[in-house]
Amino acid sequence: MNEDQNSSGVTAHRALSSVASAIFVLAGFWVLPCWARPMSVVGSFPMINQIMTGTATSFAIRFDGPVDHAGSHLTLVTPRGTRSLRARLDSQPNTLFSAVGSLPSGSYELRWEARAMDGEVSKGTIPFKVSAK
């Protein structure tokens, strides 16, 4: 084998390695945003600043990915104090849900801390009001 044949083989190998590396990097960019971005709320009940009746009240916060129900927390801040709520463990994979029953009229906050399945934690607050019937 002469030197020209050997160098063309090395050049072809380098080109193939470069193409494989580029594909690997580009594939990483397609996957990375799905894993690297924070979990977001896509819907909630109540919605921020919603005025609702206080009968048979339940809360639901839906996320754009599955949550660890046991590792997540819901807290209801009431006119009379703070109350921890249990997220229902058998709710939809991307939803924190809790039933609380009747609430008297007043201003409230639903505070949530949701743990994604990869361990990332997102937090937020939903202020709302309960009106007199």
Low-confidence ranges of the chain (pLDDT < 70): 1-37, 133
**Whether residues 18 and 46 fall in one domain:** no
Quote the domain boundaries for residue 12: 1-37
3-state helix, strand, coil in the chain (%, to 5): 25, 40, 35
**Whether residues 84 and 29 fall in one domain:** no
Distance between CA atoms of 103 and 130, rounded to whole angstroms?
7
User: What are the tens digits of pLDDT across the range 75-96?
Assistant: 999 999 999 999 998 889 999 9
Q: What is the pLDDT of residue 109?
A: 97
Q: What is the pLDDT of residue 55?
A: 83
**Whether residues 29 and 84 fall in one domain:** no
